[in-house]
Amino acid sequence: MGEPLYRRVVIKVSGESFAGGQSFGIDQPTIDRIAVDLIAAQKLGVEVAVVVGGGNIFRGVEVSSRGVSRPTGDSMGMLATVMNCLALEAAIERHAVPARTLSAMVMPQVCELFTRAAAHKYLSEGRIVLLAGGTGNPFFTTDTTAVLRAAEIGASAVLKATNVDGVYSADPKKDPNATRFERLSHSQAVEGNYKVMDATAFALARETSLPIIVFSIAEPGSIGAILTGTGRGTIVAG
């Protein structure tokens, strides 16, 4: 693989991708493969921070449709992201690579609180930093968290790992005429209302001039390929 295009990145991994082919929970072989991919990406010489979603366990919107208030449902969703981060941290450390979970919510018995200083310190020490708990606020998503944290810690790109290989004009699983975009501007991404990532995340990326690369994590090695410019995905920038 060639030289990496970025020095520090935030990689967003959805909770859904932790479930493997299942609809709920953590599939251990899948999480192990993601850990191996993240380690390989870091070995390219890139400082890697990871925002993990929680949709494989709880999503606030879904919980709130069952009689729990939305903010409470969102708290459950944010706690789900902490569980996923702890599982990923363990998977990375099984390969003798140091990782550290930093949470947006205070839980000293479980993991350290996210601060920019802690993130800078651990990234420069060569740890993979896992960012848990979303933004710490209800009504946001972990996509938005990824852009927010990237801006806060001075990352040069957000890599949005998902189960499709980019942004499409429509859902490629439902519409055979859906076409994949090679490149989109931030404004086109906001206005297009594409389902792959929420508009708040694209708008914040526009505000902070952060490129977002949307790609599929299904193939082993896909993170490294995106980092070296040889992968397949949609670049949202400019």
Q: Which residues are annotated as a binding site for UMP?
A: 54, 74, 135-142
Q: How far apart are CA 85 and CA 10, in angstroms?
A: 14
Of the pair 70, 97, the CB lying nearest ligand UDP is at 70
Residue with tokens 């740890």: 127
How many residues in the shown chain lie near ligand UDP by CB under 6 A?
23
For position 25 contacting ligand UDP by CB under 6 A, the verdict is: no
Of the pair 200, 228, the CB lying nearest ligand UDP is at 200
For position 216 contacting ligand UDP by CB under 6 A, the verdict is: no
For position 224 contacting ligand UDP by CB under 6 A, the verdict is: no
- Report in angstroms the alpha-carbon separations of 31 from 24, 57, 138, 165: 13, 14, 26, 19
**Of positions 30, 42, 141, 222, contacts ligand UDP by CB under 6 A:** 141
For position 102 contacting ligand UDP by CB under 6 A, the verdict is: no
Nearest distance, CB of residue 75 and ligand UDP, angstroms: 7
- What is the C-alpha R_g of the chain? 17
List binding-site positions. Answer: 12-15, 54-55, 59, 74, 135-142, 162-163, 168, 171
Q: What is the dihedral of CA 7, 8, 12, 13, to 10 degrees?
A: 70
The burial class, CB within 10 Å (0-12 / 13-18 / 19+), for 232 is middle
The percent of the chain in helix, strand and coil, each rounded to the nearest 5, is 40, 20, 40
Of the pair 4, 20, the CB lying nearest ligand UDP is at 20
Is there a contact between 129 and 49 (Cβ–Cβ < 8 Å)? Answer: yes
Is there a contact between 180 and 166 (Cβ–Cβ < 8 Å)? Answer: yes
The residue range among 34-42, 47-55, 90-98, 227-235 that interacts with ligand UDP, by the rule CB under 6 A, is 47-55
Q: How far apart are CA 8 and CA 222, in angstroms?
A: 17
Of the pair 44, 107, the CB lying nearest ligand UDP is at 107
Of the pair 9, 96, the CB lying nearest ligand UDP is at 9
Residues within the interface to ligand UDP (CB under 6 A)? 14-16, 53-55, 59-60, 73-74, 77-78, 80-81, 134-135, 137-138, 140-143, 145
